[in-house]
Amino acid sequence: MAEYTRRELLRNTAIATTAGVVAHHAGGAPPASATVTCPPPLGPVRVTPDDPRYPDLVQRRYNLRFEGHPDLIHVVGDTSQVIQAVQEAVRAGKRIAVRSGGHCFENFVDDPAVQVVIDMSGMTGVYFDSHRRAFAVEAGASLGEAYRRLFLGWGVTIPAGYCPEVGAGGHIAGGGYGPLCRLLGLVVDYLEAVEVVVVDHTGRARSVVASRDPSDPHHDLWWAHTGGGGGNFGIVTRYWFRTPDARSSDPTRLLPQPPASVLTFSLQWSWDELDQTTFTRLLRNHGEWAEQHSAPDTPEAGLYSELILSRRQYGQLLMLGQVAGSDPEHLLDAYLTALSAGAGEPAGRTQERLPWLAAALRGPGEDPGRWRMKVKSAYQRRRLTDSQIAAIHHHLTREDVDILGGSVSLNSYGGRINTVAPDATAVAQRDSILKLFYVTAWADPRDEERHLAWLREFYQDVYADTGGVPAPGEVNDGAFINYPDADLADPTWNTSGVPWHTLYYKDNYARLQQVKQRWDPLNIFQHALSIRP
């Protein structure tokens, strides 16, 4: 992700203070009185394999398991450059992929079949658009920069992800979530409009702005970007955000204000002090607490946690999180008491009260490093069953495999998220209480097969009652597209009879297909788990 440069600062200041320029970017005509001009944006930059910048751009990826060798990388600075880059690739018959933060877990971008990469790292603007009465976030901006500029400029925020280095482009389109979502809802619940570069049936590239307004002829394209996943319909260049029922013209009242401060915390349980009985009790307690405190009006909505269950070789289980509210220490103490009943107190506990922005820019506080990895996911509508807990314990304590970098994280969900109808946005999972994130990571390419085998067997066993996947039902509710897992489309690993797209989108998939057919009829934007026309 490119650093925020002085030129970009000047450009975005001009955009934010000049209604005419803002109207022009939004598709309207500037008034004759507009006199402020913007410095030119970054680019267009064309990087080919013989360019000294090429190695940096192809290695700027989160999952080292995959590596692409595109013929050309476009580093774009505005929407017109994206249109030009897409048009050129379409005319040449080149396979296109787009990258914002570069945090994709599968090979949707870093794939030898991809010939042209459009890199959004030159589009990092975050500003108030008075024409749309909403805040614009360009697709190349990191979540951390969005938090920083929205809060320092206007005292507001969007409830997006925990990791500040993630790019806005893919995170938002997939229905991203984070520490404030139980309190405020998903980030897509505040999406007012989206600008997308699309390709029509004649092969012509153009930009379209689609809005929340049901009378907007492009409304279906807006809906598809409220959880329909990235790389499906076109290339997002910017998003606009506003609280849906906000009527004020004052920017400081158009998005939620974050809490003044939060209590960040970490807890550790030693594996040496946990047998299968106490491990089971800990996970039961955790799940029962989530069942009891995930209603939209729960006083505990400000508490977010990630219970990271690592392999026994790692030595400990870890919980990270934060608490917002008037008495966060009391909420955390009560939470810890509920978790510890019959399972024992954690071996370690740290906590710190921080200003909200400091906590948001710190994120989980861990550097994930650069690894090869495989991930899987699941939504839980109820706590894990005892048989699921037994499967988790078995695979975390297996002695016949040497896997250090393997875990499953149980992340808080529910609350305000569950006040939205399943078909109001493309995010269909609107009554879950937990989101699970499975991961295994390794450094040596020779270790890939045993890590993949361990994770696949782990996942299959946890969901053995539903064909090896979290098929929607009373307990499970599918998977999260921002943690993509191509195994779900492979009958070797998904024996449930439930298609991969139902696991991700449930009943919303048919509508997403209609949007795909209308806006990407040539299937220009595709990958292993893309929406099929």
Residues 122-149: pLDDT tens digits? 999 999 999 999 999 999 999 999 999 9
Expressed as residue numbers, the domain containing 301 is 261-507
| Bigger pLDDT: 76 vs 367 | 76
Residue 6: is its pLDDT beyond 50?
A: no
* Predicted confidence (pLDDT) at residue 73 exceeds the cutoff of 70: yes
Tell me the C-alpha distance between 506 and 381, whole Å: 14
- At 62 the pLDDT is 85
SS3 115: coil
Q: For position 347, which CATH number holds? A: 3.40.462.20
Rg of the chain taking only CA atoms, in angstroms:
23
CATH number at residue 176: 3.30.465.10
The predicted structure's pLDDT at residue 270: 97
Pick from 403, 400, 483: nearest CA to 443: 403
Claim to verify: residue 352 and residue 501 sit in the same structural domain: yes
Instruction: Give the pLDDT band of residue 27 (cuts 50, 70, 90).
Output: very low
Give the domain-ending residue among 227, 253, 279: 253
pLDDT at 403: 94
In a domain, 105, yes or no: yes
Tell me what pLDDT residue 391 has: 98
* Same domain (yes/no): 267, 408: yes
Average pLDDT over residues 270-298: 97
**Within this chain, do residues 202 and 317 fall inside the same structural domain, yes or no?**
no
The per-residue pLDDT for 368 is 66
- Does residue 25 register a pLDDT over 60? no
At residue 358, φ and ψ (nearest 5 deg) are -60, -40
Residue 199 pLDDT exceeds 50: yes
**Inside any domain, residue 274:** yes
Q: Does residue 442 belong to any structural domain of this protein?
A: yes
Chain-wide mean pLDDT for the chain?
A: 92
Q: Is the pLDDT of residue 386 over 60?
A: yes
72-75 β-sheet, strand order: 45-47, 72-75, 116-119, 96-99
* Per-residue confidence (pLDDT) for residue 38, from 0 to 100: 64
Percent of the chain with pLDDT over 70: 92
Catalogue the E-assigned strands of 287-357: 303-310, 316-323, 348-355
Same domain? For 171 and 306 the reply is no
Q: Is the pLDDT of residue 40 over 90?
A: no
- Within a domain: 10: yes
Question: pLDDT at residue 21 above 90?
Answer: no
Least confident segment among 43-57, 267-281, 359-373, 491-505? 359-373
Within this chain, do residues 245 and 265 fall inside the same structural domain, yes or no?
A: no
Same domain as 364, residue 462: yes
- Here the tokens at position 421 are 């109808």
Residue 196 within any structural domain of the chain: yes
Q: Are 188 and 317 contained in the same domain?
A: no
Shared-domain flag, residues 41 and 167: yes
Same domain, 359 and 468: yes
Structural contact between residues 416 and 474, judged by C-beta atoms closer than 8 angstroms: no
What's the whole-model pTM score?
Answer: 0.92
204 and 269 belong to one structural domain: no
Tokens 């409220």 correspond to what residue? 226
Query: What mean pLDDT is predicted for residues 299-319?
Result: 97
Percent of the chain with pLDDT over 90: 89
Whether 13 has a pLDDT exceeding 80, the answer reads no
Average pLDDT of the residues in 153-158: 98
The answer on pLDDT for 19 being more than 80 is: no
Looking at the 3D structure of the chain, how many domains does it have? 2
Domain boundary among 193, 225, 253: 253
pLDDT tens digit sequence for 396-428: 999 999 999 999 999 999 999 999 999 999 999
In a domain? residue 365 = yes
Based on the domain organization, do 299 and 359 belong to the same domain?
A: yes
- Any domain includes 516: no
Of 165, 166, 127, 150, the C-alpha closest to 38 is 127
User: How many CB atoms are closer than 10 A to CB 227?
Assistant: 27
Domain membership of residue 452 (yes or no) is: yes
Domain termination residue (choose one: 210, 230, 253): 253
Which pLDDT value is given to residue 1? 34
Same domain, residue pair 454 and 357: yes
Scored b (16 or more CB within 10 A) or e, 502-523 reads: bbbbbebbebbeebbebbbeee
Task: Answer yes or no: is pLDDT of 48 > 70.
Answer: yes
**pLDDT above 50 (res 358):** yes
